[in-house]
Amino acid sequence: MIQKPKGTKDILPECSYKWAYVEEKAKEILENYGFKEIRVPVFEQTELFERGVGDTTDVVQKEMYTFLDKGERSITLRPEGTAGVVRAYIENGMASLPSPTKMWYMMPMYRYENVQKGRYREFRQIGAEIIGTASYKADVELIVMADQIIKKFNIPGVILNINSIGCPTCRKKYQEALKEFIGKNIEQYCGTCKTRFEKNPMRILDCKEKKCKELNQGAPIILDYLCEECSAHFENVKRALEKLKIDYVIDSGIVRGLDYYTKTVFEFVSETEGYTVLAGGRYDGLVEELGGQKTEAIGFAMGEDRLIDIFEKYNQTQEVAIRKPDLYIASIGEVAEEAVSTLALELRKNELYIETDICERSMKASLKYADKMNAKFLMVMGEDEVNAGKAKIKNMTTGEETQTELEVRKIIENIK
């Protein structure tokens, strides 16, 4: 039997309604903040991610699904959404729109990861990007919205960690200090870290190797090197979050795994699961890096697979239930069968969920199926009922039976 590729999953009907619920609720919140949907290609030119995400990141060096297409072009399945969204922003001249541009997306991403709990090779993100504002107020609005989305799903034990990783100006001094610290033990670091030492020493802080993590203990922290502007920006963000009573923890260890970040970075971490559910930050240099005008921006992405894994654990609410048939209509004989088809069509047009037999089942098997499907009401129609224009309708929960005329309006009244 052919099996699905490692790190992918089938989202079956018994579960997909939860995904639909999460997407619907998240979308409501995103749109209340003025975000509009954007959809970008699943694959892009590889160069977009090399330049956007950064060629010394794990994502680019180790995790991309890259291949040559039949025209010998290097193509990559998107490992994240921001680079593609920014490319679309530039390519479609969106800078001429009223600023800022707020966009959301729900898209699958692809990373060749070591598969483990909460870490897949195909996974879905719900993301939001605000392009065209340098103000700390955008950081605050975005973090508050992210907090609202997380809280909407009643997930316990999620904490917000924030940090600032400064701008290229403060980073210069910081990188010197970092190189001095790491340089003392560089021989003991892994091969990847050694190659990153000259080009991008901050990436070494993001290394997942146990030995490198140990060596990184006590490394200088960027917060001590922030320039005046970055420092003021961070103070403003913190103050505004406090005013809005959004709890946060400063985690000077957050460097993020993608190169485009500047200033504010943040992660919503599930303490119970031990992984990050939503993460993001400012990326003030990315639009320019990808060929646009200097345009400041900030965004986040939520790992939908992770959110749903936790959501399933803690939520058994009525609101999130698989839909049950409002009415099962069984028929006896050809005349009734035709009448049932017409009636079912009319009821469905009125947005009722109607089931009828499409398997040529016996009456006994039909009733059994209606029961298995947890139909709320049951109606049996034969020729007599059709001729009389009336039938009995049974409430499957109470067992109560009432007589109804075979008119859409009357049936709806009975069901409601």
What residues make contact with ligand HAM under the rule CB under 6 A? 80-82, 111, 113, 118-120, 123, 125, 127, 129, 257-258, 276-281, 283, 299-301, 303, 305-306
Alpha carbon separation from 372 to 335, 366, 396 (Å, rounded) = 26, 10, 11
**Residue 254 in contact with residue 278, Cβ under 8 Å?**
no
**Shortest distance, CB of residue 195 to ligand HAM, whole angstroms?**
21
**Shortest distance, CB of residue 266 to ligand HAM, whole angstroms?**
10
Using CB positions, name the residue nearest to ligand HAM: 303
Distance of CA 299 to the CA centre of its chain: 13
Looking at beta carbons only, is 224 or 271 nearer to ligand HAM? 271
Q: Please name which of 221, 7, 206, 246 lies closest in space to residue 116, comparing C-alpha atoms.
A: 7
Looking at beta carbons only, is 78 or 394 nearer to ligand HAM? 78
**Shortest distance, CB of residue 403 to ligand HAM, whole angstroms?**
55
**Shortest distance, CB of residue 64 to ligand HAM, whole angstroms?**
12
The burial class, CB within 10 Å (0-12 / 13-18 / 19+), for 95 is middle
Long-range contacts of 367-370 (CB under 8 A, 24+ apart): 367/330, 369/328, 370/325, 370/328, 370/330, 370/396
**Shortest distance, CB of residue 126 to ligand HAM, whole angstroms?**
9
**Shortest distance, CB of residue 70 to ligand HAM, whole angstroms?**
28
Distance from C-alpha of 390 to C-alpha of 405, rounded to nearest angstrom:
4
**Shortest distance, CB of residue 109 to ligand HAM, whole angstroms?**
7
- Phi, psi angle pair for 124, to nearest 5°: -110, 140
Looking at beta carbons only, is 129 or 326 nearer to ligand HAM? 129
Distance from C-alpha of 343 to C-alpha of 415, rounded to nearest angstrom:
15
**Shortest distance, CB of residue 45 to ligand HAM, whole angstroms?**
17
Looking at beta carbons only, is 9 or 361 nearer to ligand HAM? 9
Distance from C-alpha of 258 to C-alpha of 255, rounded to nearest angstrom:
8
Looking at beta carbons only, is 123 or 311 nearer to ligand HAM? 123
**Shortest distance, CB of residue 317 to ligand HAM, whole angstroms?**
23
Distance from C-alpha of 307 to C-alpha of 303, rounded to nearest angstrom:
6
- Phi, psi angle pair for 340, to nearest 5°: -65, -40
Distance from C-alpha of 37 to C-alpha of 240, rounded to nearest angstrom:
27
Looking at beta carbons only, is 299 or 325 nearer to ligand HAM? 299
Looking at beta carbons only, is 53 or 381 nearer to ligand HAM? 53
- Phi, psi angle pair for 104, to nearest 5°: -120, 160
- Phi, psi angle pair for 106, to nearest 5°: -130, 110
- Kindly state the tokens that stand for 258: 């993608």
Distance of CA 397 to the CA centre of its chain: 37
Looking at beta carbons only, is 298 or 354 nearer to ligand HAM? 298
Q: Please name which of 302, 310, 311, 307 lies closest in space to residue 104, comparing C-alpha atoms.
A: 302
Q: Please name which of 30, 126, 138, 34 lies closest in space to residue 80, comparing C-alpha atoms.
A: 126
Looking at beta carbons only, is 59 or 343 nearer to ligand HAM? 59
Looking at beta carbons only, is 262 or 356 nearer to ligand HAM? 262
**Shortest distance, CB of residue 303 to ligand HAM, whole angstroms?**
2
